[in-house]
Amino acid sequence: MRLAALTVAVALSVSARGDELSGADKLRLQYSNQLAWTQDGLPLVTVRVMEGRDEVVISAAGVRVLPDGEGGAEVRGGGSWTVRVQGGKPAKLKWHVVVARLKPGDEKLQDELRTWRERGEKPRTFETGALFAIKGEVLDSRRVLVAVSPRDDEAQARAAAQALAAKHGIDAGVHPELAERAAGAVEASDEKGVVVRNDGILWFAGAAGGLIELHDVDKEGGGREHRRYFGKLYVTVDRAGKLAVVNAVAEDKLLAGLVPAEMPASAPPEALKAQAVAARNELLAKLGTPHLTDPYRLCSTQHCQVYAGAGREDSRSTAAVAATRGELLLRDDGSGLVDTVYSSSCGGHGEDNDKAWGGAPDPSLRGKIDGDAATARRLSAFERIGEDNVAAFLADGLDAPPPRPYCARPKGAASSYRWHKKIDLAAAGERAQVGKPTAVEVLERGVSGRVIRLRLTGERGKAEVRGELEVRRTLGGLKSALFVLEPRSDGGQLVELTAHGGGHGHGLGMCQTGAAGMAESGASYRELLKHYYGASHLKRMY
Ligand SMILES: [Zn+2]
Ligand SMILES: [Zn+2]
């Protein structure tokens, strides 16, 4: 009886308030790459915090259930709601093989389509990314994908992509298309037996600005815990036809949760501000691309960015987010957001993006000496680091005469600026599938001296490793690819290999230890961002 009465009340309330969006329209918004805004004028970001569940428990003092979101009907029941899905139907996806990625308006599109038609395919195009126009500035992360050979199965599409890549010498990937959205009724009941049910989605909000608790959230690295969230949660049906819980959170609250995980809150305030801007750029750049076929824009795992909800903030990081409100780093050539990547320590010299990761050179991600003009003069022999001078550069350590690079200045620099590690030869040989190594040779270095091509010769064959990350992984998780190798042989046999290295991380974009060092030397966050990201300028967008 109670359910029937409530359903009527909900329906009446919706029409009485004249909400501008129907429930179906609001559901469509979950899949949209449009940017939604809070009343405060900040982007509202949807982050999936749980998925694949049969049952979800949400609790908070004064929790409100909003079938279609704020402005529609509202139900106040007990303090704890158990949510289930009824008639959950998985989404239907089609997997396409992506054979080209172009910017919108690129004239090469017609050529690509013709080429693939001539190869007997039926090419289609898809658009990913998002287009935002804010304050007269257009932020365009869109890409046009040329896709062929659709499959119902991801593994088959990946195999087809590999075959096409090998046959035509191209970079091929896969792209999922949402052929049919997941569906089902979402039903919540409180401890007193009040039941609320809605098609596809239910929203939950805490009492005026309060936190809302979600039970049994998976932790990174195993186990579960209850977690609390700012803003609202909505429960919807995920790809698999199970329940997903999504946090719709204002950009500043989300960043306040993310920044302390990226840089210690004890870092100088100007470094924290630079980090806040970099994190904001990365956040906005990601919207509209990674989860196109999901009812949310981002996830809370390593895939997008690790986000553990409220309670991780530090007032110092939060202040840096507030002080840089709405500020984004834009490319000088008008092509949108800078890809504000960062790593812990560059070891004194940053790397070029194309050298480390492949792809086209990015004018904002050029490697150079991480120091002021006086440091660059002292180290002018190392403007470009190659096989001939990398050992000398690595010998210039924390005991070198000042002025030293920015990342050699802060107190905590010692753990990563210069390091030494003995390589587990047998394990490296296994990873490269060459057996016990007899020789390990550097074939190519980037502009910072980072190893970007490495050859392992072993008892079972040879292998070439490409890219800074693969090089580090193969040699057993080295801190960076900026190293020289010292082999020791016994009776013509390689018996020991030691890496003498510098830096921690990929070395692209901002050097976080360097940012602290530069801030300690009196630089502002604007100067920091200019130093680490070339051909760019800061603009307050909201
Ligand atoms: Zn993700
Ligand atoms: Zn550095």
Paired sense of beta strands 43-53 and 298-299, if any: parallel
Q: Output the pLDDT for position 14.
A: 28
Q: Ligand 1 centroid to 47 CA: how many Å? A: 9
Residue 372 has pLDDT above 90, yes or no: yes
Q: Output the pLDDT for position 39.
A: 85
For range 246-266, the mean pLDDT: 95
By three-state DSSP, how is residue 428 classified?
helix
Residue 2 has pLDDT above 50, yes or no: no
Q: Output the pLDDT for position 419.
A: 98
Q: Ligand 1 centroid to 344 CA: how many Å? A: 22
Torsion, CA 400, CA 405, CA 409, CA 414, rounded to 10 = -70
Residue 31 has pLDDT above 80, yes or no: no
Q: 28 falls in which pLDDT band (50, 70, 90)? A: low
- Which ligand sits nearest to residue 306's alpha carbon? 1
Cα dist from 398 to 91, 242, 280, 369, 384, whole Å: 56, 54, 33, 15, 20
Q: Output the pLDDT for position 15.
A: 27
Q: Ligand 2 centroid to 409 CA: how many Å? A: 10
For range 97-109, the mean pLDDT: 93
Residue 438 has pLDDT above 80, yes or no: yes
- Which ligand sits nearest to residue 289's alpha carbon? 1
Q: Output the pLDDT for position 27.
A: 57
- Which ligand sits nearest to residue 514's alpha carbon? 2
Burial of residue 105, with CB atoms counted within 10 A of its CB: 0-12 exposed, 13-18 middle, 19 or more buried: exposed
Paired sense of beta strands 137-140 and 493-502, if any: unpaired
Length of the chain: 542
For 276-322, write each residue's pLDDT tens digit: 999 999 998 887 677 888 889 899 988 888 899 999 999 999 999 99
Q: Output the pLDDT for position 5.
A: 30
Q: What are the DSSP calls for 281-309, one per residue?
A: HHHHHHTTSTTTTSSSSEESSTTT-----
Least confident range from 8-17, 100-109, 267-276, 390-399: namely 8-17
Q: 25 falls in which pLDDT band (50, 70, 90)? A: low
Q: Output the pLDDT for position 92.
A: 93
14 vs 234, higher pLDDT: 234
Q: 17 falls in which pLDDT band (50, 70, 90)? A: very low
Residue 383 has pLDDT above 70, yes or no: yes
For 179-222, write each residue's pLDDT tens digit: 999 999 999 999 999 999 999 999 999 887 789 999 999 998 89
Q: Ligand 1 centroid to 294 CA: how many Å? A: 10
Q: What percent of the chain has pLDDT over 70?
A: 94
Q: 24 falls in which pLDDT band (50, 70, 90)? A: low
Q: Ligand 2 centroid to 511 CA: how many Å? A: 5
Residue 29 has pLDDT above 70, yes or no: no
Which stretch, 41-50, 332-341, 386-395, has highest mean pLDDT? 386-395
Average pLDDT of the residues of the chain: 90
461 forms beta bridges with 458
Residue with the two structure tokens 């979600």: 214
Q: Ligand 2 centroid to 512 CA: how many Å? A: 7
Instruction: Output phi, psi for 407, to 5 deg.
Output: -80, 0
Q: Which two tokens stand for residue 468?
A: 């800074």
Q: Ligand 1 centroid to 301 CA: how many Å? A: 6
Residue 18 has pLDDT above 50, yes or no: no
Q: Ligand 2 centroid to 465 CA: how many Å? A: 25
Q: Ligand 1 centroid to 303 CA: how many Å? A: 4
Q: 30 falls in which pLDDT band (50, 70, 90)? A: low
For range 417-443, the mean pLDDT: 97
For range 480-496, the mean pLDDT: 96
- Which ligand sits nearest to residue 369's alpha carbon? 2
